[in-house]
Amino acid sequence: MKEHSDMAPESLVVHAGVEENEHLAVVPPIYQTSTFAFDSAEQGAALFAGERKGYIYSRMGNPTVEGLEKSIAALEGGYAGLACGSGMAAIHTTFAVLLQAGDHLICSDAVYGPTCTLVETILPRFGIECTVMNTSDLAAVEQTMRPNTKVIYIETPGNPTLVISDLEAVCELAHRLGAKVVVDNTFMTPILQQPFRWGVDVVVHSLTKFLNGHADVVGGIIVVQDEAQYATFRKTLNQLGGVLAPFESFLVHRGIKTLALRMQRHCENAAPVAEFLEQHSAVEWVRFPGLKSHPQYEIARKQMSGPGGIIAFGLKGGIDAGRKMMNAIKFCGLAVSLGGVETLIQHPPSMTHASMGAEARRRANISDGLVRISVGIENVKDIIADLEQALAAAGTRATTVSKPA
């Protein structure tokens, strides 16, 4: 494998984790196998005892999956990655490693809906106390910390409101009071934000989004910072079993080769779309980290090297106007998920964040009229033209949408 410690991110995406192989294939083969044969009974026993390195069984390790794990660990500046069957599997495995009965978790309220549901409904069944709150309000986070607070879990920018938490400040606070910080870096990818630089302990991703980028894989990854942490996470992931398959790993690793180019284009396209929406008379408010109107614009500039491709906005006329607009969309796709090459539009309150319930959405500022766009890499003129005609179809009516705080 090429030495990649000095490579820039644009080179790492192409080369990291691409292992040399028997035939010097430029693209390593897919090890589409569930199990690996032993040379002898003694060698099999030595592998199981950890006395020899090698592959045993694909839930425990597979060269194709490892290539992907090395690639993302290198991009994040971490020690190692652990690929999981979905983003939710990565999040759940992380909680299973870091928390036990009697511990307290603080979770940002601006997170993917099922993450919030996991924290509020499943973890308490295992004796873990959870507080879901606005982690961009540091004073409130400090007041909420308890002696048994072991983890602060953050998505930044958060899904779907794009609220931003100050990673450096949260880490300083958490570490001072004996807690670890876990960050879901899905919206940014390591191209735009490297949480370890700000002191974060564990990074998780949904690979389903920008990292894969082609809307054809569901996957997740955990990235950790040292060997001891890696051993614990690997053991737990092996026992819980939510690993990623070789073919999916191959596809994501292939997608990552264009990650730097794609993220640049997502940012370049999203900025004019956000500006277009902000000046449109039918639009009540827009949240996009690249707009000066974003409440945490300065924090975004400090910890992110680009605004990303996700925009949230509210229409005058609220939910009815939003529904009409989405039904009038022709070029963009009306679908959940995000981070693919194609532009997608969806309505979080009735779709991705429906499972949270109305009260949790109100707390997280997810108003009924909120619409989310994942801006793709197409020609931005086509995206704006489609939004323009769909907004015209929605019409402007009396204001019923309140602007998020």
Which residues are annotated as catalytic?
A: 59, 112, 184, 209
Total of chain residues touching ligand LCS, rule CB under 6 A? 17
Q: Rule CB under 6 A: is residue 159 a binding residue for ligand LCS?
A: yes
Which range, of 84-92, 130-138, 146-154, 384-392, touches ligand LCS by CB under 6 A?
84-92
Q: Rule CB under 6 A: is residue 194 a binding residue for ligand LCS?
A: no
For 30, 120, 234, 243, 387, the CA distances from 85, given in Å and listed in that order, are: 17, 22, 14, 5, 34
For 9, 199, 220, 230, the CA distances from 223, given in Å and listed in that order, are: 17, 13, 10, 9
CB of 381 to ligand LCS, least distance (A): 26
**Residue at 274: amino acid letter:** A
3-state helix, strand, coil in the chain (%, to 5): 40, 15, 45
208-247 residues near ligand LCS, rule: CB under 6 A: 208, 218, 220
Round to whole Å and give the CA distance between 287 and 391.
17
CB of 395 to ligand LCS, least distance (A): 27
- Whichever of 28 and 220 has its CB closer to ligand LCS, that residue is 220
- Whichever of 338 and 364 has its CB closer to ligand LCS, that residue is 338
Which range, of 183-191, 268-276, 292-300, 378-386, touches ligand LCS by CB under 6 A?
183-191
Closest listed residue to residue 278, CA positions, set 259, 296, 294: 294
Which range, of 46-54, 137-145, 181-189, 237-245, touches ligand LCS by CB under 6 A?
181-189
- Whichever of 60 and 335 has its CB closer to ligand LCS, that residue is 335
Round to whole Å and give the CA distance between 96 and 118.
12
Sign of CA dihedral 257, 260, 265, 270: positive
To 10 degrees, the CA torsion angle through 311, 316, 318, 321? -90
- Whichever of 258 and 337 has its CB closer to ligand LCS, that residue is 337
> At 388, which helix (H) or strand (E)?
helix 380-394
Round to whole Å and give the CA distance between 24 and 2.
13
Which range, of 7-15, 137-145, 274-282, 335-343, touches ligand LCS by CB under 6 A?
335-343
Q: Rule CB under 6 A: is residue 334 a binding residue for ligand LCS?
A: no
CB of 318 to ligand LCS, least distance (A): 21
Binding pattern for the stretch 96-115 against ligand LCS, x by CB under 6 A and - elsewhere:
----------------x---
Task: Using DSSP, state whether 252 is helix, strand or coil.
Answer: helix
CB of 286 to ligand LCS, least distance (A): 18
Residues that bind ligand LCS (CB under 6 A): 86-88, 112, 155, 159, 184, 186-187, 206, 208, 218, 220, 336-338, 352
